[in-house]
Structures are given as C-alpha cells and as structure tokens.
Amino acid sequence: MQYQEHLPLSEVSPPVAPKHPQVLSLHGDDRIDNYFWLRDRTNPDVIAYLEAENAYTKTMMQHTEPLQATLYNEMLSRIQETDLSVPYRKGDYYYYSRTEEAKAYPIHCRKRGSLDAPEEVLLDENLLAEGEEYFELGVFAISPDQRLLAYSVDTNGSELYTLYFLDLVTRELYPESIPETEYSLAWGNYNQTVFYTKVDEAHRPFKLFRHILGTPVTEDVLVYHETDESFNLRVYKTRSEAYILMHLGSNVTSEVHFLDANSPRESFQVIAERSHLVEYSVEHHGDYFYITTNEDAINFKLMRTPTTNPTKENWETVIPHREDVFLSNVSAFSHHLVISERESGLPKVRVRQLSTGNEHYIAFAEPTYEVYEGANAEFNTNILRFNYTSLVTPNSVFDYNMDTTERELKKETPVLGGYDRTQYVSQRLNAIAPDGTPVPLSLVYKQGIEPNGANALLLTGYGAYGIEEPDSFSSTRLALLNRGVVVAIAHIRGGAEMGRKWYEDGKFLKKKNTFTDFIACAEHLIQAKWTSPEYLAIEGGSAGGLLMGAVVNMRPDLFKAVVANVPFVDVVTTMLDASLPLTAIEWDEWGNPEDKTFYDYMKSYSPYDNVEAKDYPAMLITAGLNDPRVAYWEPAKWTAKLRQLKTDNNLLLLKTNMGAGHGGASGRYERLKEIAFEYAFLLEQWGLNQG
C-alpha cells in the first residue's frame, strides 16, 4: 500500500487487514477470529500487512519528525556518551565497562592490581555488532582463574544465543561454538568445564549440558532434562564459589540441586524435592545453605540447613515469617548476610553480622525510591555495593561498610545540561480500589506544577509476575517533565510492592484487580485535579500492554492516549497453545483455559476478545517481528480488530520492528529514537508538540 505525502492526513486511509474467519471452539463456546491468519509469518500477505501498517505509521507521524529530532537530541545531550562504570574487584583484577561517543554498545575491560594499571579490553560489543541490524550480549562470564571468557550473542532479537569461548591471553577463540543457548552459565572451579542451558521448541530452557573446553560440542554431556513443560531451568554459581546450583522452577514451585564446584563431573544432588506451590531459593555460607522459602509463609522466611545433609528435616528457622514484611532476597558474604525486604511498599535493606547476630538497617531518606545490589563479585569482604535511585535522584553507586555503616558514593550517573533535582518533586499517594484496598501511586513533576485539572499526565503500570514497578530515575523522562507533564506510576496488584499477597491478589481468578486498581489510580488522579480525561495518557509494555488493552476496553472514556508496547492481548488463544514460547510456564500465572473456569474468566478480560464497536483513545501499539515472548501477531491482530470496530477518528498506529524482538531496537542510540517517537506521539495528543 502506498501513501502519498501530499495528501492531507485526514485523507490518508489506514491499512485494512482482510478477514479470514477462523472458528475457535472450546467448552461449547465458539470464538470467531477474523485475523488468525496473521500468525503465519511465511505468508507474504502477513509481511505486506505489517509493512503497510509501518508505512501508514510513518506517514501519520511524518510531520512530527522535527519534534522527534528535537527530543532525540535533547535526550542525547543529557547522556555522558563517553563514560565509565564503577570498577568492581575480583581477585587481582578490577572489571568495568565503558562507552565511547558515537558507539552504540559497551566495551568491557579490566585492569590488573590497580586502577592505574594499563587497560585490557576483554570484549568490544561494537566490533561484534558490526554489520548486524540487531545485537544483544547474553552471557559474560569470566573463568575462576580469570584467563577465559564465556560470552554469547543474539543477532536478531529471538533470545537464542550462540555461546563462544575466548582465551584472554592469546586472544584466540576456542574452535567450538554452541548455538541456541539461554542466559545462564556456570564455570567449574578448574577452568575447563562449563555448564550451560539449551531451550526447547517453545523457547523453554529445559536441558543442562556440561561442556569441556576444546572438545566437540557433540560430546557434551546431558546433565539434566526437565520434562515438566511448566518448569524452566537455570544454572549459576554461589558467590562463595563452592557450589554450582541448578534451579528448576515454575511460577509457583521450585526445586534446587547442588554440585561441588571442585567436582564438576559428579552428579547434582537435590536439596528439597519440588512440592506444588512451595518456592525456595538457595544461598551458601560456610557449612550451611541459607534457604528463602514461602512454605507456610506467604511473605517468605529464611531457613538454614547443613550442606552435608540439606534435606528438609534439617531445616531450622533463621528469620521467621512476618505478615507485614516481604522477604525478597538474602545475599551471603564471608561475615554478613544482606537481607532485602519490602515494607509498606518500600524496599529496605538490613545487614546481619553472622558472628554476633547484630543487625542494622541501611537508612534512606526520600519518600519513594529504589535500591538493589550492585556488582558484588567477592565473598570475602565487608563492603556491600548497592545502587540507589529515586524519581528525582539519578542512579547512584555506593560502597557500604557493613561493619562501620559508612557509605561512600562511588558514582552518580551524570545528567548533563545542568540537572537540578531540587527543581523536581516526588511524592507518594494512595488511590482506593473498588474493594476498599489502598493502592500506592508515585508521582514526579516539576516544581510549580499545581493540581488544577489541566496537567498532561502519563500514568504507567505493569502488575504481573510479582514484579515491582520501580520508582527509579530516568533522564529521558526529563523531556516530558520539562514540558509540564506529570508522570505517575501505579503500584497495582499483580506486582509485589506491598508483599506477596499483593501479587497473589492480582493473578489467576483475581487478575481483574490489576485492571480495576489501575482505573482507580486514574480516577484518583482526576479527582485530585492532577489531570483530567482529556489530558491523561497511559503506557505499559508486555504484561503491562495487557493492562493497557484491558483498561481501554473497560473505561476508554478515562484516557486521551495509550502507548502499548509489545502487548500481550490475545490471552485465551495464546494460553491454549502450548507450542508457543512461555505458554505452559505461564499457566501458573494466568491459569490454563483448558479448565472452563479459567477459560471463562480469561475471555471476560482478554483485550482482543473484548474489542467493541465504541470510541477508543488515540493508540500507539508496537511489536517485534522476532519477539519470542509476545508474538508479533498479538499486537497486529489487536490493531486490525480495533480498526474494524472502533467508532472514533482517533489515531491508531501499529509500529512493528521488523528486525528485533521483545525489547525493541538494540543499541543506545536506536533506543533513544524509539523513545523520542513515543514521546512525540504523546506530546502531539496533549497538544504540547511545539518543541
């Protein structure tokens, strides 16, 4: 389909996808899917339709290209293009990555003995990415003797990585490479053995292999095969370097096996056999495994057990379950445990000295923030590296002395152009859900903005998998804040901001709480005069894209504009197809629609199944042709059905990245261009498109 640039935009017609009705029958119910045919990417008509939508999107957004360029240059000007990460120590070496102006990818380096020593470049991603439309580094793992590097690359966004081994002394690659591997890898302690994972046809990591460097891949030993299609497999090494752990997990159940890293050819041993709905994770210290588990403890508790006989009868309680505190992670060092928690919606970190049992919390002053562990490669240290950020504080790397409680700011990510955090305000509000539950909302805006009902406001949310929506800084967001836009984050059920029950109350047959929580947040912002429906835009991606689709079906009158990135919107059909990546694994998140109860419930909120003949807000929908998580056809089918049924004249755009996957374009410059495009769409809808 051709679009004439000289035509007025009002006369440019969008693509119309042909209807080829497909009857989908289950539980005595027939669903008519007119766009089921878009699943066949080998059909040239499918690619032609996606390209026609891209051409239409380009035409309809062409007049915003000067604004896109302004936004891009503005965002780029705030980034220190030539920059250096904070080096971390591992044995005799200091490791870091750096970026150079005009280069899209990091360069990985180290120095031996001192930061004043000569630099050794380990891997330059820019060289690896030459000639590739897409590039993503997966594994980056140094061997225990620090002579060898295992790394993997994906060059099309499919998240299938090819694994390579590089001798850092001779700079020669080993002759073997291993295709279609996944993210996880662990080295045995004698530098010649690696464990890696492979994926099945549904993209599930399901097999663990042992490889001896310098030997043919055909001789690799299959160590473990996970046959339960709802479980995936990952492998990693404890910080103590004493054990290699194999974690087998569904969304609700887990099982961990361990292996002495000094004896990589021995067999893994199980710590505790899987038990449905019981999750646990394992950390190692000295003679004990420390186990974080939700068994009879919805917010998790900490146990420990001897490494010599770790079966459940030997588990003893270290930190009991607490109703009001979510225990999210425990990290072990030679003399300390670092305990990550969430209480009242905020992250907390406490440090326990193992010899005395003395504890203290690390203090944070802002009303809303995010904190997480940084690069802590060494076990035998009293220094904890953590990252701190908030809606107004750029990411800050601290080294924290766990004995003296002194903290040293190693680096705050520079924001060029004179950023002054005192010119911005962050605060926490509560909306009230229909069932009376308070739902936290985080806001950030520029000083002087008042709740007058006329502010452009962008409300974002996610609400799935127990993943918290972080209150973190974004230098790109300044492009909105400086134009008077208020940005709000809805901490809705389905995440875990308020504890594990917060997650449980936003999944399965309680999934609609996620959507009604978000709508309640929107209504609260309107009632409190922070915005109004003609100025309220919303944004979410992946499962957050499902959120976008659900709420615009339920309350399209609340929103001016929607950005739905790689949205999971064809819930029933996808969850019925176990051949698709992630489907079987995610039955524990959404339910299995082979069960009529789940089928009926899913069908009642599935965005694609509930598109109606009514007015919808302006919408920008994105997709990735190679996306293994949310197949491109979900946003494509949704767009086609919206075009068929919606009764408004609001802009509806589908933008498919034909050479990327779930995360969009690779490389920092292309990513900025994507953000500039989205922001230009929003600013246009708000009437703030004058620069």
The single residue of 203, 285, 662, 666 carrying the catalytic annotation is 662
- Give the CA distances from residue 382 to residues 252, 334, 352, 402, 643, in Å, rounded to whole numbers and listed in that order: 34, 8, 11, 6, 60
Helix, strand, coil tally for the chain in percent (to 5): 20, 35, 45
Q: Which residue in 570, 588, 609, 627 is the catalytic one?
A: 627
Helix axes 512-527, 596-605, angle to 10 degrees: 30
Amino acid at 38: L
> Measured between alpha carbons, how far is 152 from 180 in angstroms, rounded to an integer?
10
Answer yes or no: 276 catalytic.
no
Q: Which long-range contacts (CB under 8 A, 24 or more apart) does 93-100 make?
A: 93/146, 95/142, 95/375, 95/377, 99/668
Phi, psi dihedrals of residue 232, rounded to the nearest 5°: -120, 175
Q: What are the structure tokens assigned to 240, written together?
A: 């103590």
Decide: 268 and 255 in contact? Cβ < 8 Å: no
Is 662 labeled as catalytic in the residue annotation? yes
C-alpha of 174 from chain center: 32
Q: Which amino acid is at 598?
A: F
Radius of gyration (C-alpha) of the chain in whole angstroms: 26
Helices 65-77 and 668-686: crossing angle, nearest 10°? 130
Q: Distance between CA 568 and CA 582 in Å, rounded?
A: 12
Catalytic status, residue 13: no
The single residue of 158, 542, 606, 666 carrying the catalytic annotation is: 542
Give the DSSP H/E element, type plus range, for residue 246.
strand 243-249
Question: How remote is the C-alpha of 198 from its chain's centroid?
Answer: 21
Tell me which amino acid residue 321 is. H
Is the separation of the CB atoms in 401 and 407 below 8 Å? yes
Please report where in the chains the tokens 């009376």 appear, as a residue: 436
Which helix or strand (DSSP H or E) is residue 587 part of? Answer: helix 587-590
**Are residues 32 and 21 in contact, defined by beta-carbon separation less than 8 angstroms?**
yes
Alpha-carbon gap, residue 333 to 241, rounded angstroms: 11
CA distance 485 to 411: 29
**3-state SS track over 137-148:** EEEEEECCCCCE
Using left for φ > 0, alpha for ψ between -120 and 50, and beta otherwise, residue 417 falls in: left
8 Å CB contact between 217 and 178: yes
Active site residues: 542, 627, 662
